[in-house]
Structure 1
Amino acid sequence: MKITILGATGSAGRRIVTEALSRGHEVTAVARKGSDDMPDKVTFNIGDAGISENVAQLAKGQDVVISAVRPSPGQESTVAETTKALLRGMGKSGTRLLVLGGAANLVVPGSDGKTVIENANYLPPEFRHIGQASLDQLEVCRTETEVDWAYLSPSASFNPGKRTGRYRTGQNELLVDSNGKSELSMEDAAVALLDEAENPKHHRAQFTIGY
C-alpha cells in the first residue's frame, strides 16, 4: 500500500512510520519542518495539515492517509480549524483517512455515563484544554459525510512503550483492565492503525483500543 503519514516526526507519528515500513508499505512521511533522521526507505515531504490544497496534493494517489498531527503547546484551540482543512483536502483526493485522536469523549465504565474529560482520575483539570481539543476534532470529523474517515481514540494513558501487537477494540467506552487502569503504548496504537489501514472495519466512525 501507499501510505502518507501526517505529523510523522512526532512521538506517535514516528512509531506509525516504523510500523508501516515493517509491513513493507510504501511510506511518505510529512511534517511542517524538515527532518534528517527518517529511515532511508521513507519519502519525506514538508507539508501542513492545516492547508487543504497541501493535503490534497499529498494524498493524491495514496491508498490511505494517517494523521498523527498534534498542536504545539498552547495552540490547542487551532485543532478544529486544522481538522476542517484536513478534511477539505482529503475530500478533493478521494483517499481514505485515519485520524489518531484523543480519549476525552469515551465513557468511563461504572461512572453513570461520565466521560474521560469529566473524570479527574483519568484527565486532571489542568489538561482539560487538551481533552477539549480532541472533542472538537472528533465533532468536526462527525460532520464530514464524503471522506471515508475513521477516528482512533487511544486509552487514557497513552505513552511510548513496547510493541506487544495485542489490544482490545471498543467503540465509545473507555477500555480498562481489572485494576481500572486504561493504558496503551504508542507502538500498539501504530499496530492498530496499520491493521485498520490494511483491513478496514470502521467507516466514518470512532473506535478505541486498549489492553
Structure 2
Amino acid sequence: MKIAVVGAAGMVGSRVVNEAASRGHDLIAIVRTTRPTSLPPGVTAVKGDADDPDHMSGLFHGFDAIVAATRPAPGQEHKAVRTTTALLDATATAQARILVVGGAAPLQIPGRPDRLVLDSPEYVPQEWRTLAATSAAQLDACRAHPANWVYLSPPAVLEPGPRTGTYRRGTTTLIASADGTSRISAEDLAVAVLDELETPCEHQHFTVGY
C-alpha cells in the first residue's frame, strides 16, 4: 500500500511512519518545515503545505491512503478546520482515502451518552478546552465533506510509551478502564492506524484505548 503521512515530524505522525515502514508499506513523510531527525530506510521526507489543496493533491496522486496527523500550534487552533478541509479536498481530488487523527472531545462519556468528553472537566481541563473544541469541529468538517474519510479519536491521554501491539477498539464512546483512566501510547495508536488502513472497518468515527 502507498501511504502518505502528513505531520510526519510530530508525536503521532512519526510513529505512524515507523509502524507503516515496519509492515513493508511504500510511504512518504510529509512535513511543513522540520525534517524528521531519523526516518526508516526507504522513507522519503517531502515538504508540503497542508493548507494548499492543489499542492497536496499533487503529492497524494497515486497513493492509496493518507494519514492526517497534523496538530495546530498553541494559539493557532482556529486554523485546524481549514487545514483539515484542505486535506479532505486534496484527498478527494487524488481519489485516495484519508484517516484523520483527531481528538477525544467528540466522544461520549461512558455510561453518559448525553454528555461529551468536550464538556467534562475531569477529562478536559479549562486550559485544554480550546484545543478540544477544535477536534470536535474537525469531525464536523469531515462529516460535511464527500471525501473518503475515517476519523480516529484517541483516548483522553495520548503520550509516548511502549508498543504492546494490543488495544481495545470502540466507536463513539470513550474507552476507559474501571477507574476511569483513558489512555494509550502513541506507539499503539499507530498500530491502530495501520490496522484500520489495512483492514477498514465499517465505522467512519472510531476510538481506541487500553
TM-score range, shorter chain: over 0.9
Match of 1:64 in 2: 65
Aligned-residue identity in percent: 44
Determine helix, strand or coil for the equivalent of 2:109. Answer: coil
Match of 1:5 in 2: 5
Query: What are the residue-to-residue correspondences of 1:81-92 with 2, within 5 Å?
Result: 81-92=82-93
Determine helix, strand or coil for the equivalent of 1:174. Answer: coil
CA distance in 1, matches of 2:112, 2:95: 40
Following superposition, the deviation at residue 34 of structure 1 comes to 4.1
Cα distance change, pair 106–54 in 1 and its aligned pair in 2 (3 A): same
CA distance in 1, matches of 2:62, 2:112: 45
CA distance in 2, matches of 1:4, 1:60: 10
Match of 1:24 in 2: 24
Match of 1:142 in 2: 143
CA distance in 2, matches of 1:73, 1:38: 26
Q: Is the 8 A contact 1:96 1:148 kept in 2?
A: yes
Match of 1:101 in 2: 102
Match of 1:161 in 2: 161
Match of 1:209 in 2: 208
Q: Does 1:40 align with 2:61?
A: no
What do the CA deviations read for 1:134-179 (whole angstroms, capped 9, x no partner)? 011110000012x111000010011111111111111111111111
Equivalent AA in structure 1 for residue 208 of structure 2: I
Determine helix, strand or coil for the equivalent of 1:33. Answer: coil
Following superposition, the deviation at residue 200 of structure 1 comes to 1.0
- RMSD of aligned C-alpha atoms? 1.2
Q: Is the 8 A contact 1:6 1:67 kept in 2?
A: yes
Determine helix, strand or coil for the equivalent of 2:152. Answer: strand
Equivalent AA in structure 1 for residue 70 of structure 2: V
Equivalent AA in structure 2 for residue 121 of structure 1: E
Q: Is the 8 A contact 2:18 2:39 kept in 1?
A: no
How many residues end up aligned between the 2 structures?
A: 209
Cα distance change, pair 112–14 in 1 and its aligned pair in 2 (3 A): closer
In structure 2, stretches of 5+ residues that fail to align are none
Determine helix, strand or coil for the equivalent of 1:66. Answer: strand
Determine helix, strand or coil for the equivalent of 1:114. Answer: strand
Equivalent AA in structure 2 for residue 13 of structure 1: G
Following superposition, the deviation at residue 112 of structure 1 comes to 5.8
CA distance in 2, matches of 1:54, 1:191: 29
Determine helix, strand or coil for the equivalent of 2:13. Answer: helix
Q: Does 1:182 align with 2:182?
A: yes
Following superposition, the deviation at residue 110 of structure 1 comes to 2.9
Determine helix, strand or coil for the equivalent of 1:133. Answer: helix
Cα distance change, pair 173–85 in 1 and its aligned pair in 2 (3 A): same
